[in-house]
Structure 1
Amino acid sequence: MTPLDPWPAPRAVVPVDATVSLPGSKSLTNRALLLAAIADGPSVVRRALRSRDTLLMADALTALGSTVDTSGEDWTVTPGPFDADAEIDCGLAGTVMRFVPPVAGLSTGKIDFDGDPHMRNRPVGEVLHALRTLRMDISAGDRLPFTVSGAGHVRGGTVVVDASASSQFISALLLAGARYDDGVDVRHEGPPVPSLPHIEMTVEMLREQGITVDDSQKDRWKVLPGPIHAVDRAIEPDLSNAAPFLALAAVSGGTVTVRDWPERTTQAGDALREILTRMGCTVEFVDDGLAVTGNGPLQGVELDLHDVGELTPAIAALCALAETPSRLTGVAHIRAHETDRLAALATELTSLGADVTELPDGLEIRPATLSGGVFHTYADHRMAHAGVIIGAAIDGVLVENVETTSKTFPHFADFWSGLL
C-alpha cells in the first residue's frame, strides 16, 4: 500500500472509551525552537513535537548556524554564529517559510528558501515586503523560492502589514524583533487579523523569555530590543490535534479523555471545549485532563471561527453528521492554508452525500444521509482529520493519503486504529 492509496477509515461500532496522550503543540514547538536559536544561551525544549514541520524547523535553524539536538524526547538548542550560506527547505511548513526569513537577516550568509511545490502558492509576500521595509536584502518576488542576503544585523523600526491572510505575518516579525537594533513596531492595516490566539501565544512566549512587548493598542505590537533569555520550556499537548479524538467521543457516544489539557492556554484548540458543549456533548476537566462524552445526536451550530480557523475541517465533519443545520463563517483565510480548505471540504463532504453550500468565508451544512466513498485530503493533515471523523460514523469511508497527518502527528493512522 502506497501513501496515496485510500486508507479504510475504521468505523466506531461501539462507544469509544479511551484516554489519550497527544504529541506536543506544533505552534509552541516551532516558536520555542526559533526563540532558543537566537537566545543568549542554550535552551531545552521538553516534550517537543517530533513531526515533519518541527524537524524542518530544526534543520532550518541548524543550517543557519545553531545546534539543535533532536535525538531525545527533550531537545536542546545552542545558539551559534549565523555566518554561512544555507539552503532552507520549508516543505509545507508555513512557520518555517514565514518565521525563519526575519531571523535570516541576522546572518552574514546568503540564505536560499524553497519548499514543496504547493508551498510556492502560499502567501508570504507581506512578510517579505515588511523585511524589505526594514532594509533587508531579499530577492525579487513575493512567493517561494526567494533569497535573503544577510548583513549580520537588522536595524528594525516600524512596518505596516496587512495580516488579514495569516496571523503568522505578525508573529514572524515579533519573534525576531528583539534581536533587531531598534526592535520592531508592527502595525496591521486591513481586514481583521485571523487566528489572534496565535499572536497572543507569540507575545506570551516572548515575555516569558524577558522581552518587553507592548500590545496595548489594537492592531499594533511593539517589541523592544534586548536579549532573549534562554529557558527550559515544556511544550503543551497540541490541542488542535485533539479535535478528531474528542470528535470520536461525540460521534460514538463514548468518552475520550485527553491527558494534560492545560486549564489556561493560548492555543486555539482550547475552543473545542465550548464548541463541543454547544453541539450537545458533556465537557469537563477530570484528574487526567479534559474529558468529552457524546450524548446522542449532534446538534448543528452557528459559529464564527475566525480566530480558530484551523479547527474548521474537524468541526465541519461533525456538522455534516448533526441532526440540525450549521453555519460556519469567518474563515475566508483558510482558503490559503495547505489547500483551499473551504472548497476542499465542500467538495469532499458533498461527494459523501452531505448537503453543503460553500460561502465566501465559510460553509452552510444541512442534515443529509451520508454514505461511503473516497475522501481526498489534498496533502492537508486537517482534511485527513475530517475524513477519519466521518469514517468513524459512516461505513466505507476511504481516506486518501492519510499519511499527510505526519505533518503534526506521526503514526496517526496506527494510533487512531488502535482506539477503534
Structure 2
Amino acid sequence: MPVADIPGSKSITARALFLAAAADGVTTLVRPLRSDDTEGFAEGLTRLGYRVGRTPDSWQVDGRPQGPAVAEADVYCRDGATTARFLPTLAAAGHGTYRFDASEQMRRRPLLPLTRALRELGVDLRHEERDGHHPLTVRAAGVTGGEVTLDAGQSSQYLTALLLLGPLTEKGLRIHVTDLVSVPYVEITLAMMRAFGVEVAREGKDFVVPPGGYRATTYAIEPDASTSSYFFAAAALSGGEVTVPGLGEGALQGDLGFVDVLRRMGAEVEIGADRTTVRGTGELRGLTVNMRDISDTMPTLAALAPFASGPVRIEDVANTRVKECDRLEACAENLRRLGVRVETGPDWIEIHPGAAPAGAEIKTYGDHRIVMSFAVTGLRVPGISFDDPGCVRKTFPGFHEEFTALRAGL
C-alpha cells in the first residue's frame, strides 16, 4: 500500500511564520514546508530584521511583538500570495518604512480590499503603480485598532491578515465581513491563533480580536491537504490505494474535504485519527459539486473528470479566476487540448466525458496546481507533458519524484 510523504501545509507554514514573528519569545516550527513560497516568506522576515534559524527538520523564530527590527527594508515577495499579503500587514504594526514588491504573476493578483482596510485603520500605505497591486510602501507607526469593514469575497487571506494583525494593535480589532470565500482557511487561522494564546470572538458577521499579543510556542505543521488531493485522486483513478499519514480527524485544513467528493464519486475513504486512506473501486461517477470552500482542489477534480461515467459540474468557484492564473479557464483550455468537451460560466465549469483523451502539452501558466492536477490525468493518458514542469517548486519541489514513485506503487 503506497504511503505518500506529503510536505507540510503551505497555508499553515505561512501563518505559523507570521505568528512566530509576532509572538513574545522563541517559537519552534516542526516540519515546516520548505518550498519557494515559504522560503520567500522566511527571507522576507529576515529582511525585516527577524531572526529565523533553520535545522533540517525545524525553524526557530525569535518573536518581536514590537514589530520589525530594522527601520527600513526592501522585501521581495516572489510568487507568494501569503507573503505578499501578510508581511505588509505585519510590518504595519511596527515603526519604519517598508517597501514590498513581487513577481509579475503576483503583481497581477489583487489585494485592494486588504490595503483599503489597512488604510481605514490609519496605516500609511501607498501603491506605487496600480492601485490595489504590488509594489507598495508602508510607512508604519503602529496600529491603534478599532472597527473596520472588509470584503473577503475574492480571498479569505484578506481576513486572515487582519485577524493576525488584531492582537498587535493597541485596542484590538472588530472586523465586519461583508462577503467571505474559502471559510475553512479562516478556521485554520482562528485555531492557530488559539495555539499562540489568542481567542477570537464571533458576533454574527463580526470577528472581534482582543489586543495583548501572542505567546511563543512549539508548533507542528501538518501535511498539506491541497497537495494530498493529487495523491488521493490518483488512487481513485487507478483503482489503487493511497495513505497520507499526519492528516486525520483533527486536521485543520478544510481541503481534506476533497476526499468526500471522491467518496461521492465511488471511491472508498477512511479517515483515521492521524491518517487518511483512499481506495479506488474502479468506479468514478459524475456529479455536481459546490467547491466554494475547497476551491484549491477544483483543478484536481477537473483533471479527474474526463474519466467519470457522467458529466462533472463544479460550481461557485469564481475566486479560482484570481489565483496564480485564471484556473477555471486554464483547466478548460487544457482539457480541450486533450479532446475533452468543456463548458464554463462566470463561476462554474462542466466537463463531459467522451472518447478517451489524447496526449498533449499542458499549458501551465506557471501555476503549480495546474501541473500537479494534470499529472493525475497523465496516469491514464500517455503523452502528457508540461511547458513549465518546474513551477511545482512553489509548494512541492519534490513532486515529480514522489508522484513517479506513487505511480510505480499503484
| TM-score normalised by length of structure 2 | 0.95
Q: Report how far residue 214 of structure 1 moved.
A: 0.8
Q: Give 1:179's match in structure 2, choosing from 165, 168, 171.
A: 168
Cα distance change, pair 146–287 in 1 and its aligned pair in 2 (3 A): closer
Helix, strand or coil at the partner of 1:198: helix
> Contact between 1:66 and 1:78, CA under 8 Å: does it hold in 2?
yes
Aligned to 1:417: 404
Partner in structure 2 of residue 51 of structure 1: 35
- Equivalent residue, structure 2, for 1:268: 254
More displaced, 77-86 or 198-207?
Answer: 77-86
The alignment status of 1:24 with 2:14, answered yes or no, reads no
Any gaps of 5 or more consecutive residues in structure 2? none
Local SS of the residue matching 1:207:
helix
Q: Could you list the per-position Cα deviations for residues 14-35 of structure 1 after superposition, in whole angstroms to 9, with x for gaps in the alignment?
A: xxx4111210101111101100
SS at structure 1 position matched to 2:152: coil
Tell me how far apart the structure 1 counterparts of residues 324 and 149 of structure 2 sit (CA, whole Å): 25
1:238: how far off?
0.5
Taking a change above 3 Å as real, the CA distance of residues 171 and 287 of structure 1, as seen in their structure-2 partners, is: closer
1:63 aligns with 2:47: yes
Partner of 1:40: 24
Cα deviation digits, residues 373-392 of structure 1 (max 9, x gap)? 11111111111122101111
Mapped partners of 1:62, 1:173: distance in 2: 22
* Match of residue 145, structure 1, among 103, 126, 135: 135
Task: Please report how far the alpha carbon of residue 73 of structure 1 lies from its aligned counterpart in structure 2 after TM superposition.
Answer: 1.1
Deviations 1:309-339 (A, max 9, x none): 0010001111122121111001001100000
The answer to whether the 8 Å contact 1:388/1:399 transfers is no
CA-to-partner distance for each residue in 1:221-246, whole Å, 9 max, x for gaps? 11010120111000111111001111
Distance 2:208 2:203 in 1: 9
Q: Please give the alpha-carbon distance, in whole angstroms, between the structure 1 residues aligned to 2:387 and 2:302.
A: 18
Q: Which moved more, 1:35-44 or 1:75-84?
A: 75-84
Give the aligned partner of residue 307 of structure 1: 293
Bigger relative contact order, structure 1 or 2 (CA pairs below 8 A, ≥6 apart): 1
Contact 1:105 1:148 in 2 (8 A): yes
Distance of 2:237 and 2:194 partners within structure 1: 40
Tell me whether 1:254 sits opposite 2:240 in the alignment.
Answer: yes
Counterpart CA distance in 2 for 1:290 and 1:263 is 8
Q: CA RMSD in A?
A: 1.4
CA contact (8 A) 1:120 1:144 kept: yes
Q: Matches of 2:274 and 2:106 in 1, distance apart?
A: 38
Structure 1, unpaired ranges of 5+ = 1-16
Paired position in structure 1 for 2:334: 348
Q: In the TM superposition, what is the alpha-carbon distance from 1:286 to its structure 2 partner?
A: 5.5
Q: 2:153 aligns with which of 137, 146, 164?
A: 164
Residue aligned with 1:48, SS: coil
1:198 pairs with 163, 169, 185, which one? 185
Mapped contact 2:5–2:402 kept (Cα < 8 A): no
| 1:326 and 2:312 matched | yes
Residue equivalent to 1:386: 373
The CA distance in 1 between the partners of 2:273 and 2:99, in whole Å, is 48
Work out whether residues 236 and 262 of structure 1, in 8 Å CA contact, stay in contact via their aligned partners in 2.
no
Q: Residue 71 of structure 2 is aligned with which of 84, 92, 101?
A: 84
